[in-house]
């Protein structure tokens, strides 16, 4: 498979076209806005926490196929998980997209996230793939309303 | 008698020669021949410019304006020769009116910080337009914030042309300065600058023209235009990065306070009082980008050797061809359809994000620019977060544009 088709796999194209958990979630307990000034990607993450558990999560906004599909897949994966589990999943994801080229991805550990293995070949797109995750974590931490990838 | 086919062969020979002048155009990207369509971001450099910089470091390197030794004298002469070339290139009256800066952005900031700070106060108004680059918005905004002045914005129509009636209406007794772009980097609109300047002058208001996207495409005559300031960057003019030009009428430059303090900009320094140097040195504190300025001289020589006749004919042809082949793709919407356009096309493709298009084209060797092009207010005006932009130089070909269209169709198919 060429690097480019490795990046734009069917699952990514599908989530881009039909994003899951898309649209505002109001009222919600946690919210953050994510922005990538480089490309103008802009998304909102809405979360409902029940104690330490993320009961529901949605997103909206606009962005490229990589950022949109990453947000969509993320919402599917984190729903029902604890804050701690989400953080662990995020570090797994972050490692995947920034690990050295020669490092083989651990498919079992990654599950669905494996579709983003191609991102590391495209350094300018790592921020696109990570935007939703940073925004979600910021929402859960209630750090600030606006987070930027810069 | 020269026949049509002779002329065609001649043009084809000249085109091949020009391609050979740019070594980077022979490069492969991911194993594909590079198709460089990001000329509005920066142009590639011909061998003549690359050689000049190499010669400078192998033969001349020294500091200018201070040394009495051989190298310093020669380097100073080349640096000043380059200033004279810029003067002739834009038909300025005097070399003293040519200030070397780090680029367009710094040239605008210089005018804002000196002319602006001195002459603009609370309640005064500054006119810019919707299609300005951030570099001609933010410095003025900062000044307005500092002084309590007001920024007025000339609107544009749906085609991407300035609305002149609205421009005229913006003037009043509080208008102190006008700063407008010659050619829009996002839309390609060629503004009727002569008329814009006339209108500003009728209202006794000085005007700066941002020529970053114009200087490489058409002859610019600052005397004929009668603009008070004209600014541009060398790197978009087939020359090195890190150097640019501020042209200013002598009467303005003389009256303006210095921009930065330091060496070269002084006549004498004591702890009690410093006397400033004459123009242009008053505005050139510190060791400048010597090789950059000398390289700019070589870039201007090169462009003139190609000739604006060839440049304009080729670039108009490329624009017409690109407009035709891109308009033929139903999913493509061209943003910016001004009456007079420079050789660039901004477009959106269905709901495919420009960054995806940029990455996918890149892997085919095609370099375009995607994003907001440092013109966010303009993107808001057209209701798009970003566009893809293909911008052409005389060294591009219609075949390259055809290849772009083929690859775009593949991307559309992939996302369908």
Of A4, A17, A63, the CB nearest to B360: A4
Domain total for chain A?
1
Taking 70 as the threshold, does the pLDDT of residue A150 lie above it? Answer: no
Q: How many angstroms separate the Cα of B157 from the Cα of each of B160, B170, B184, B383?
A: 5, 16, 14, 13
Domain assignment of residue A149, yes or no? no
Q: What confidence tier does B182 reach under pLDDT thresholds 50, 70, 90?
A: very high
Q: What is the mean pLDDT of chain B?
A: 96
Q: Do B372 and A40 touch (CB under 8 A)?
A: yes
Q: How far apart are CA B356 and CA B95, in angstroms?
A: 47
Query: What pLDDT shows up at residue A143?
Result: 57
Q: How far apart are CA B98 and CA B249, in angstroms?
A: 9
Q: How far apart are CA B216 and CA B225, in angstroms?
A: 17
Domain assignment of residue A101, yes or no? yes
Residues of A in contact with B415 (CB under 8 A): 13, 16-17, 65
Nearest to B335 by CA among B345, B325, B321, B349: B345
Q: How far apart are CA B317 and CA B8, in angstroms?
A: 14
Q: Do B360 and A8 touch (CB under 8 A)?
A: yes
Establish if A128 touches chain B: CB-CB under 8 angstroms: yes
B346-366: pLDDT as tens digits: 999 999 999 999 999 999 999
β-pair partners for B126: B151, B177
Q: What confidence tier does A145 reach under pLDDT thresholds 50, 70, 90?
A: low
Please give the helix or strand (H or E) that residue B388 lies within, else none: strand B387-391
Of B363, B372, B385, the CB nearest to A4: B363
Taking 60 as the threshold, does the pLDDT of residue B407 lie above it? Answer: yes
Query: What pLDDT shows up at residue A146?
Result: 58
Question: Which residues, at least 6 apart from B18, have a Cβ–Cβ distance to it below 8 Å?
Answer: B306, B394, B395
Over residues B62-77, the mean pLDDT reads 92
**Residue pair B408/B357 in contact by the 8 Å Cβ criterion:** yes
Taking 80 as the threshold, does the pLDDT of residue A5 lie above it? Answer: no
Q: Which residue among B164, B325, B374, B384 is the active-site one?
A: B374
Taking 80 as the threshold, does the pLDDT of residue B1 lie above it? Answer: no
Q: Do B385 and A62 touch (CB under 8 A)?
A: yes
The per-residue DSSP string of B266-300 comes to EEEE-SS-EEEPPTTGGG--SS--HHHHHHHHHHH
Q: How far apart are CA A112 and CA B86, in angstroms?
A: 59
Of B354, B385, B414, the CB nearest to A8: B414
Establish if A109 touches chain B: CB-CB under 8 angstroms: no
Q: Do A65 and B352 touch (CB under 8 A)?
A: yes
Domain assignment of residue A95, yes or no? yes
Q: How far apart are CA A81 and CA A89, in angstroms?
A: 10
Query: What pLDDT shows up at residue B8?
Result: 80
The per-residue DSSP string of B202-215 comes to HTT--EEEE-TTTT
N-terminal to C-terminal alpha carbon distance within chain A: 32
State yes or no: is B227 an active-site residue.
no
Q: Which residues of B touch A (CB under 8 A)?
A: 352-356, 359-360, 363, 370-372, 376, 379, 385-386, 414-415
The SS3 assignment for B39 reads coil
Distance from the B412 Cα atom to the nearest Cα atom in chain A, whole angstroms:
12
Please state whether beta strands B244-248 and B229-233 pair in parallel, antiparallel, or not at all (unpaired). Answer: antiparallel
Calculate ∠ Cα B14-B20-B23, nearest 5°.
150
Q: Which of B165-174, B301-310, B367-376, B394-403 has the lowest mean pLDDT?
A: B367-376
Q: Do A40 and B386 touch (CB under 8 A)?
A: yes
Please state whether beta strands A53-62 and A41-50 pair in parallel, antiparallel, or not at all (unpaired). Answer: antiparallel
Domain assignment of residue A34, yes or no? yes
Q: How many CB pairs lie under 8 A apart between chains A and B? A: 48
Domain assignment of residue A148, yes or no? no
Q: How far apart are CA B329 and CA B321, in angstroms?
A: 13
Q: What confidence tier does B153 reach under pLDDT thresholds 50, 70, 90?
A: very high
Running DSSP on this structure, what letter comes out for residue B341?
B
Query: What pLDDT shows up at residue A148?
Result: 59
Please, which residues 36-65 of chain A have a Cβ atom closer than 8 Å to chain B?
38-42, 62-65
Establish if A2 touches chain B: CB-CB under 8 angstroms: yes
* Residues above pLDDT 70, as percent of chain B: 99
Domain assignment of residue A150, yes or no? no
Domain assignment of residue A99, yes or no? yes
Domain assignment of residue A57, yes or no? yes
Of B353, B370, B371, the CB nearest to A63: B353
Of A2, A40, A65, the CB nearest to B356: A65
Over residues B74-88, the mean pLDDT reads 97
Question: Which residues, at least 6 apart from B168, have a Cβ–Cβ distance to it below 8 Å?
Answer: B199
Q: Walk me through the domains of chain B, giving residue ranges and CATH numbers.
A: 4-33+307-415 (3.90.1150.10), 50-304 (3.40.640.10)
β-pair partners for A53: A50, A82
Q: What is the mean pLDDT of chain A?
A: 89
Over residues A80-99, the mean pLDDT reads 94
Domain housing A106:
3-143
β-pair partners for B127: B152, B178
Name the phi and psi angles at B302, rounded to 5. Answer: -65, -50
B374-393: pLDDT as tens digits: 998 999 999 998 999 999 99
CATH number for position A10: 3.90.1010.10
Establish if A4 touches chain B: CB-CB under 8 angstroms: yes
């Amino acid at each position: 498979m060429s690097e480019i088709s490795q990046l734009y796999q069917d699952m990514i194209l599908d989530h881009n076209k039909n994003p899951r958990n898309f649209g505002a979630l109001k009222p919600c307990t946690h919210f953050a806005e994510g922005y990538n000034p480089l490309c103008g990607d802009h998304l909102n993450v809405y979360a409902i926490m029940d104690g330490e558990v993320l009961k529901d999560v949605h997103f909206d906004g606009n962005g490229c196929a990589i950022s949109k599909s990453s947000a969509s897949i993320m919402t599917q994966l984190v729903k029902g998980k604890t804050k701690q589990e989400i953080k662990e999943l995020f570090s797994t994801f972050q490692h995947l997209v920034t690990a050295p080229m020669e490092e083989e991805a651990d498919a079992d550990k990654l599950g669905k996230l494996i579709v983003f293995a191609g991102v590391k070949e495209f350094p300018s797109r790592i921020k696109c793939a990570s935007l939703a995750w940073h925004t979600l974590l910021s929402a859960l931490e209630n750090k600030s309303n606006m987070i930027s990838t810069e | 008698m020269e026949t049509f086919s002779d002329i065609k062969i001649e043009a084809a020979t000249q085109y091949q020669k020009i391609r050979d002048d740019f070594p980077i155009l022979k490069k492969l990207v991911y194993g594909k021949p590079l198709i460089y369509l990001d000329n509005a971001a920066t142009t590639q450099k011909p061998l003549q410019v690359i050689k000049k910089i190499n010669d400078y470091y192998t033969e001349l390197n020294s500091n200018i304006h201070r040394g009495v030794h051989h190298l310093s004298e020669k380097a100073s002469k080349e640096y000043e020769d380059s200033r004279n070339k810029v003067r002739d290139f834009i038909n300025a009256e005097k070399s003293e009116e040519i200030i070397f800066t780090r680029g367009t952005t710094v040239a605008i900031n210089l005018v804002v910080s000196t002319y602006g700070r001195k002459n603009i106060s609370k309640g005064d108004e500054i006119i810019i337009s919707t299609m300005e680059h951030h570099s001609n918005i933010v410095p003025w905004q900062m000044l307005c914030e500092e002084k309590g002045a007001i920024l007025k914005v000339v609107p544009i129509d749906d085609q991407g042309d300035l609305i002149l009636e609205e421009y005229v209406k913006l003037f009043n007794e509080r208008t102190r300065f006008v700063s407008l772009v010659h050619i829009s980097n996002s839309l390609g609109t060629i503004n009727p600058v002569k008329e814009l300047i006339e209108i500003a002058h009728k209202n006794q208001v000085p005007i700066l023209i941002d020529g970053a996207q114009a200087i490489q495409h058409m002859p610019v005559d600052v005397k004929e235009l009668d603009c008070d300031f004209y600014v541009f960057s060398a790197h978009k003019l087939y020359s090195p990065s890190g150097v640019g030009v501020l042209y200013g009428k002598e009467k303005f430059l003389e009256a303006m306070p210095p921009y930065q303090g330091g060496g070269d900009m002084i006549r004498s320094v004591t702890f009690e009082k410093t006397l400033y140097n004459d123009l242009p040195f008053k505005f050139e504190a510190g060791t400048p980008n010597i090789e950059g300025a000398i390289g700019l001289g070589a870039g201007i020589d090169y462009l003139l050797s190609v000739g604006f006749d060839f440049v304009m004919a080729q670039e108009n042809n490329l624009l017409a061809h690109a407009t035709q082949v891109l308009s033929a793709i139903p999913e493509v919407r061209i943003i910016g359809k001004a009456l007079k356009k420079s050789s660039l096309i901004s477009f959106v493709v269905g709901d495919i994000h420009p960054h995806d298009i940029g990455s996918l084209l890149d892997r085919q060797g095609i370099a375009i620019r995607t994003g907001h092009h440092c013109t966010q207010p303009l993107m808001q005006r057209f209701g798009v977060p970003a566009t893809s932009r293909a911008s052409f130089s005389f060294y591009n070909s219609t075949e390259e544009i055809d290849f772009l269209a083929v690859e775009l169709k593949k991307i559309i198919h992939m996302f369908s």
